[in-house]
Amino acid sequence: MHHTMILQFVGILLSASMLVLSGCAGGPLKNSFVAGWLPERGDDPADLERYGPIKSQHIEHLRSLADQVGDTKPEVRDRISKDLVQRVRNELDPTVRVEVVKTLGEFPNPSAAEGLRWALMDNAPEVRIAACQAWHRRGGTDAAVALAGVMGSETDLDVRLAAARALSGFRHPAALQALGSALDDSNPAIKYRAIESLRASSEFDYGENLGAWRQFAQGGNPPRPETRFLAGKFRRLF
């Protein structure tokens, strides 16, 4: 009898997990049990029911959601991303919030952008860093503006470096202006990172010429260097 009850419980878990991908009613995350619960490993179904999944199971489930975004129907993606936004706001564990933000970064929905904006204000620097990285993957005007805002307001050095790195390759004026301002930062690491990110957006490599990079960041056309950017591109391949 006990064995039969466990099998029935496993069936319930699998069915609930599949509802996330098939478009069940209600909150997809709330209605889905976390993958990773294994009866053959000795996991107790009573513990899962009483206490909920442990941190590693939450993280495993979030990573699974991120991997399956492309195979999920748009209406289901929207519901899941809205649930993830609430998770960003309410999750107490910063390690789990980091994974929530990483997962949100894979969702193209407007609601996901709301969660990423919220994550940039998180009290944990590691969550804000994850948000910068997620905005970089998302790309577009909203990402450029959000990351430029971080460069202008953030006080944590690691987060500022993450934002400067995330702005790499953006040609949006807000991104270029933020990186141009960073060239005057008192911290050499910020200056270096700003140059590297501007270099990724430029056809020409102006080396360590801060004046030329400032002019480029302001939308100008600095005198072209004698050597084109091929060497710089080759260097970044390694």
Residue 155 lies in a domain: no
User: 124 and 202 share a domain?
Assistant: no
- The token pair at 108 is 């193209």
Residue 4 lies in a domain: no
Number of domains present in the structure of the chain: 2
Strand, helix or coil for residue 133: helix
pLDDT, tens digit, for every residue of 195-235? Answer: 999 999 998 999 889 999 999 999 888 888 765 554 444 44
pLDDT, tens digit, for every residue of 8-61? Answer: 433 333 333 333 333 333 344 443 433 344 444 445 555 554 545 566 666 676
User: Could you tell me which of 63, 66, 86, 92 has the C-alpha nearest to residue 77?
Assistant: 66
User: 134 and 176 share a domain?
Assistant: no
DSSP secondary structure, 28-65, as one string: HHHH-PPTT--GGGT--HHHHHHH---HHHHHHHHHHH
User: 111 and 182 share a domain?
Assistant: no
**Boundary residue ending a domain (123, 138, 153):** 138
User: 129 and 175 share a domain?
Assistant: no
Residue 143 lies in a domain: no
pLDDT, tens digit, for every residue of 165-188? Answer: 999 999 999 999 999 999 999 999
Q: How many CB atoms lie within 10 A of CB 214?
A: 18
The pLDDT of residue 69: 66
The pLDDT of residue 66: 61
Q: Indicate yes or no: pTM above 0.85.
A: no
Mean pLDDT over each residue of the chain, to the nearest integer: 77
The pLDDT of residue 217: 94
Residue 8 lies in a domain: no
Residue 158 lies in a domain: no
Range of the domain at 190: 168-238
The pLDDT of residue 195: 95
Which residue in the block uniquely carries the two structure tokens 């905005």? 135
User: 131 and 41 share a domain?
Assistant: yes
Which residue in the block uniquely carries the two structure tokens 């209605």? 31
The pLDDT of residue 186: 93
User: 23 and 129 share a domain?
Assistant: yes
> Confidence class of residue 83 from pLDDT cuts 50, 70 and 90?
confident
User: 77 and 132 share a domain?
Assistant: yes
Is pLDDT of 81 > 70?
yes
